[in-house]
Amino acid sequence: MKSFIAVVMLCLSVCFALPGYAEVDAAPLVSVNINDASAAEIAETLSGIGLAKAEAIVSYREENGAFESVEQLEMVKGIGPATIEKNRTRIALQ
């Protein structure tokens, strides 16, 4: 009987401890409007985009007008599909 109670207690302990090991985002997901944000705001919000790439995004936007799709970011030198996919949920167009 003691063995049975010990096994039940062990199972319950594991069940309650596992959620503590679940992967949790450190911060809430924030988005940035690439059609009106500054380079600093873009660099701060998007993963893998430093200030130089963010400035390239702003320059492209100023020369070519507003981005009509997220995929259009590929036209900016140094930004490829992987970077876009990594940031897709953080990018707003309006």
Q: Which CATH architecture has domain 32-92?
A: Orthogonal Bundle (1.10)
Model-wide pTM > 0.75? no
The answer to whether the CB of 57 falls within 8 A of the CB of 39 is: yes
How many degrees, rounded to 5, is the angle at CA 19 between CA 17 and CA 22? 125
| Structure confidence by residue, pLDDT tens digits, 65-81 | 999 999 999 999 999 99
The domain ranges of the chain are: 32-92
Give the pLDDT confidence score for residue 5 in this predicted structure: 75
Give the best-scoring range by mean pLDDT among 8-12, 13-17, 34-38: 34-38
The answer to whether the CB of 93 falls within 8 A of the CB of 35 is: yes
